[in-house]
């Protein structure tokens, strides 16, 4: 039996509905670390979160201000384009919607470019960005987010491939048309639905 077949059989034994595993994926209990470049040096006293682009006025929050916001918890399955999926991950943080309601978005805005340290970016349609359950998370499975997984804050958008879930997030820019972010310029799909296997350009 192939690795993928065995892995799927394992899921059945665990009592996990096979329909939760997107095509071409295998499940793992590990939490692999994946990113381009190096882990940033994070300095919380000077850290900020900024929203700009098609807004009435840019907004800025400090780390204590973000940490003081009401939080929400989700449990979600995550799917990495490199083929691992992880079930029932627990996240807590600030709902994307909660930030959105404070920024004065202009009606021309259709997409966001999410920004992180080292110039890393990812593009998302607003509708997908604002899905209920999406978080700017600072907590993973009840513990402070680890540096390698995006400390102090990462985006979590579970319904798209995990490269959209930007680690070390520093804010986002509202834009009037879809534009490719970092991985999208380098061969990854503009949208990235794991259940449609939208991995690369042309998928």
Ligand X SMILES: Nc1nc2c(c(=O)[nH]1)N[C@H]1C(S)=C(S)[C@@H](COP(=O)(O)O)O[C@H]1N2
Interface residues toward Mo ion, by CB under 5 A: 34, 80-81, 163
Among 168, 172, 181, 184, binds ligand X (CB under 6 A): 168
Report what 151 binds from Mo ion, ligand X, none; CB cut-off 5-8 Å by kind: none
- What is the distance between the alpha carbons of residues 66 and 63, in angstroms, rounded to a whole number? 5
105 or 183: whose CB is closer to ligand X? 183
The continuous run of DSSP H or E covering 183 comes out as helix 182-185
Q: Which is nearer to Mo ion, 4 or 200 (CB)?
A: 200
**Which of 34, 44, 68, 176: binder of ligand X (CB under 6 A)?**
34
For ligand X, the binding residue among 63, 162, 172, 181 (CB under 6 A) is 162
Work out how close the CB of 13 gets to ligand X at its nearest, in angstroms, rounded to a whole number.
25
Q: Is 116 in the site for ligand X (CB under 6 A)?
A: yes
- Binds ligand X by CB under 6 A, chosen from 100, 163, 192, 199: 163
Shortest spacing between CB 194 and Mo ion, in angstroms: 11
- Report the DSSP pairing between strands 135-140 and 154-156: antiparallel
CA separation for the pair 154, 171 (Å, rounded): 10
Which of 171, 138, 166, 165 is CA-nearest to residue 152?
Answer: 138
CB of 104 to ligand X, least distance (A): 26
Residue 32: contacted member of Mo ion, ligand X, none (CB under 5 to 8 Å, by partner type): ligand X
Measured from the Cβ of residue 85, the count of other Cβ atoms closer than 10 Å reads 20
Strands 26-27 and 135-140 come out as: unpaired
Stretch near ligand X under the rule CB under 6 A, chosen from 16-24, 25-33, 50-58, 60-68? 25-33
**What b-and-e string marks burial along 125-163, b requiring 16 or more CB atoms within 10 Å of the CB?**
eeebbbeebbbbbbebeeeebeeebbbbbbbbbbbbbbb
Site of interaction with ligand X (CB under 6 A):
31-36, 80, 116, 120, 149, 162-163, 165-168
């Amino acid at each position: 039996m192939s690795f993928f077949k065995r892995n799927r059989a394992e899921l059945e034994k665990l009592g996990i509905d096979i329909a939760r595993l997107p095509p071409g994926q295998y499940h793992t209990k590990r939490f692999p670390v994946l990113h381009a470049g190096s882990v940033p040096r994070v300095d919380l006293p000077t850290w900020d979160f900024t929203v700009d682009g098609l807004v009435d006025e840019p907004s800025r929050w400090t780390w204590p201000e973000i940490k003081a916001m009401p939080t929400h918890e989700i449990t979600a399955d995550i799917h990495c384009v490199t083929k691992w999926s992880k079930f029932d991950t627990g996240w807590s943080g600030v709902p994307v919607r909660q930030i959105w309601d404070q920024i004065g978005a202009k009606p021309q805005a259709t997409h966001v470019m999410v920004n992180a340290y080292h110039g890393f970016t990812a593009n998302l349609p607003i509708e997908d960005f604002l899905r209920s359950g999406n978080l700017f998370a600072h907590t993973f499975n009840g513990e402070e987010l680890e540096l390698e997984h995006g400390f102090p804050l990462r985006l979590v958008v579970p319904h798209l491939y995990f490269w959209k879930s930007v680690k070390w997030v520093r804010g986002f820019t509202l834009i009037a048309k879809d534009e490719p972010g970092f991985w999208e310029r380098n061969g990854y799909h503009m949208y990235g639905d794991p259940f449609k296997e939208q991995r690369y350009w042309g998928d």
